[in-house]
Structure 1
Amino acid sequence: MHPVRKIFDTNDAFPFSFAYKNTKSSQSELPDHFHDWFEIVYVYRGKGTFFIDHTFYDMKQGDLFLIPGNTIHRATPDKETPVTSTAVYFSPGMIQAPQLGDSFSYLHSFEHAARVRHYKLELLLPQRQHMEPHLESIQRELKQTSPGHRQAIFLQLLQLLLFIQRDVGSGSMLTAGDPLVGPVWMREILLFIDQHFCEDIGLGTLSKQASVSPAHLSRVFKQLIGMNITAYIMTKRIIRAKQLLGESDVNIRHIAEMCGFESLPHFHAMFKRVLGVTPAAARKSIR
């Protein structure tokens, strides 16, 4: 089982999606998934766990999560007090800052999160009071669909990104993973996979590393991550390959080898299965 590659059913001219104040159960949440778009998740109330990239985070009131594109993630709401949150999805291609004599980027907070690989911000009460009207305004524009509502939503999105960068980023800590989520050995295994996923590692190697039985590791991994270890490693390899296809002119065969694939046909088959396109088509679309 591979993570779900979420596809957004929207007009190509307006690559934006919005899920306002949803209270989700574990049955309604997607399993491990990823998508090309960027995602903002703001928590109003409730509790849960958010797995992003290779780290577990607690979810609670006032938390803000910034998830760059092509990042594996999965939210698990608490059974007794499930999380109520708003999710904002948008293609980074629609965010283009005019050149006004400085190097400002509306996506800086996402770029920073990807660079340090920590994705959670904890908002103070005044910041929450500033954040929530932006989200409410977007919801109002979506419901009314007045002339120019897309332009209004776009402006609200820019205001939201500006607020996150200037006010939230400077006033809150971008926090690391929460130490009480999941067993210690599981967090260590996720870090080990993150550092070695392009190498020849499997259940046997990982169970020895964790000092637990292969059956126990497999069961706990599936319970916490929502997919098996082999599929998780495969997907991380594919995401890395896609990144290399966009960043370099290295030929596809060499990229397959760099990402741990033993043969080019296997790489092509797995790439198409996970992303829905061939490596060559992905490189062309990225550029």
Structure 2
Amino acid sequence: MQPIRKPFQLDPIFPLELVYRGVRHTENEWPDHLHDLYEVVYIHEGKGTFFIDQALYDKEPGDLFLIPGNTVHRSFPSEDEPIVSTALFFAPSLVQTAPLSDGYEPLRCFEIAHKMKQYKIVLPESAKVRIEAAISSMRSELDEQASGYRQAVWLHLQHLLLELCRHPFVEEASSPVTSFAPPWIQHALRDINRDPVRCGGLAELADQACVSASHFSRVFKQLTGMNVTDYVNAKRLALAKELLLATDDTIEAIALMCGFQGMRHFYQMFKKVTGSTPKAYRGQMKTQGR
């Protein structure tokens, strides 16, 4: 199945949503999905597994996950110990301000996570206390909505991002879980992520893994929740969205660069995932300064 575009009803003046200490069971988790918003997930209780981009991660109390926009992800809570987590969603335009002389960028932690393909942060106890306090303060401000509450939430969000940007998680973050997936699946996911346009289809990937196509397909879907074609298309669409915002190339050129041979198919797939056409998406995002 195609990844779902998770809908949000955000205040256009203050594009942020906080889901505080939600109890996550398998039956109420979203299937494979993505969205334009940046997401911070903090685990309070329980255990489970997180599929993000191309890897599986253990989830335990105190873990924090950074999920940049347009990143395919899915949560698998434990049946015995359901996850209790806080999810913070926000538009990147909310925190992007004019850089000061020291070069600090509040979204740098997400950029590093995307570049290094490391989305899990293992926090020291002192950082957990500060991050939990920031989350709790944001929740109180949003609930009470006293005068200046948006400014207060924005300051707590900036404080949280500063905490994460100062943490050397690139060196310290745990590696993706390897016990859940055989090496050939991990290699295939890396190949697809590295070049979703020329990675090949099911037959080619299975041949490279030295397993049958049916076995490859079955294991791949068990671990990602998606078949190979849908996963590759999701990665191609994520690349297309990046190119629409980062370049002035025509939509037709971007569709070809991303491996879509027909414009009709590209438009159908793009609208199914994003809810808008490529042209409308480009115009809307550039108007918002994204």
Normalized against structure 1, the TM-score is what?
Answer: 0.93
The CA distance in 2 between the partners of 1:189 and 1:200, in whole Å, is 9
Per-residue deviation, residues 78-124 of structure 1 (Å, max 9, x unmatched): 12122221111100011133443332111111111122221111011
Q: Does 1:5 align with 2:2?
A: no
Aligned partner of residue 207 in structure 1, secondary structure: helix
Per-residue deviation, residues 178-211 of structure 1 (Å, max 9, x unmatched): 2223222222221122234212722222222223
Name the amino acid aligned to 1:236: K
Corresponding residue for residue 255 of structure 2: 256
The CA distance in 1 between the partners of 2:91 and 2:233, in whole Å, is 25
| Most deviating of 172-181 and 231-240 | 172-181
| Most deviating of 189-198 and 10-19 | 189-198
After superposition, residues 105-184 of structure 1 pair within 5 angstroms as: 105-166=105-166, 168-169=167-168, 173-184=172-183
After superposition, residues 68-83 of structure 1 pair within 5 angstroms as: 68-83=68-83
Relative to structure 1, the CA distance from residue 171 to residue 210 in structure 2 (aligned partners, 3 Å threshold; closer, same or farther) is closer
Aligned partner of residue 175 in structure 1, secondary structure: coil
The CA distance in 1 between the partners of 2:228 and 2:156, in whole Å, is 40
Corresponding residue for residue 199 of structure 1: 198
Name the amino acid aligned to 1:218: S
How much does 1:171 deviate?
A: 9.9
Relative to structure 1, the CA distance from residue 71 to residue 155 in structure 2 (aligned partners, 3 Å threshold; closer, same or farther) is same
Q: Does 1:271 align with 2:282?
A: no
Aligned partner of residue 179 in structure 1, secondary structure: coil
Q: How many percent identity over aligned positions? A: 42
Relative to structure 1, the CA distance from residue 257 to residue 111 in structure 2 (aligned partners, 3 Å threshold; closer, same or farther) is same
Relative to structure 1, the CA distance from residue 80 to residue 235 in structure 2 (aligned partners, 3 Å threshold; closer, same or farther) is same
Corresponding residue for residue 280 of structure 1: 279
The CA distance in 2 between the partners of 1:130 and 1:274, in whole Å, is 36
User: CA contact under 8 A between 1:119 and 1:175: conserved in structure 2?
Assistant: no
Name the amino acid aligned to 2:103: S
After superposition, residues 197-276 of structure 1 pair within 5 angstroms as: 197-199=196-198, 201-276=200-275
Relative to structure 1, the CA distance from residue 147 to residue 23 in structure 2 (aligned partners, 3 Å threshold; closer, same or farther) is same
The CA distance in 2 between the partners of 1:190 and 1:257, in whole Å, is 22
User: CA contact under 8 A between 1:141 and 1:149: conserved in structure 2?
Assistant: yes
Q: Please, which runs of 5 or more residues in structure 1 have no aligned partner?
A: none
Corresponding residue for residue 57 of structure 1: 57
Q: Please, which runs of 5 or more residues in structure 2 have no aligned partner?
A: none
The CA distance in 1 between the partners of 2:173 and 2:281, in whole Å, is 32
Corresponding residue for residue 47 of structure 1: 47
The CA distance in 2 between the partners of 1:233 and 1:247, in whole Å, is 21
How much does 1:172 deviate?
A: 7.0
User: CA contact under 8 A between 1:200 and 1:260: conserved in structure 2?
Assistant: no
How much does 1:132 deviate?
A: 0.9
Name the amino acid aligned to 1:111: E
Per-residue deviation, residues 55-74 of structure 1 (Å, max 9, x unmatched): 11111122111111111111
Q: How many residues are aligned here?
A: 286
The CA distance in 2 between the partners of 1:109 and 1:99, in whole Å, is 15
User: CA contact under 8 A between 1:58 and 1:181: conserved in structure 2?
Assistant: no
Relative to structure 1, the CA distance from residue 106 to residue 200 in structure 2 (aligned partners, 3 Å threshold; closer, same or farther) is closer
User: CA contact under 8 A between 2:202 and 2:213: conserved in structure 1?
Assistant: yes
Q: Does 1:87 align with 2:87?
A: yes
Name the amino acid aligned to 2:248: D
The CA distance in 2 between the partners of 1:169 and 1:19, in whole Å, is 27
How much does 1:33 deviate?
A: 0.7
Aligned partner of residue 86 in structure 2, secondary structure: strand
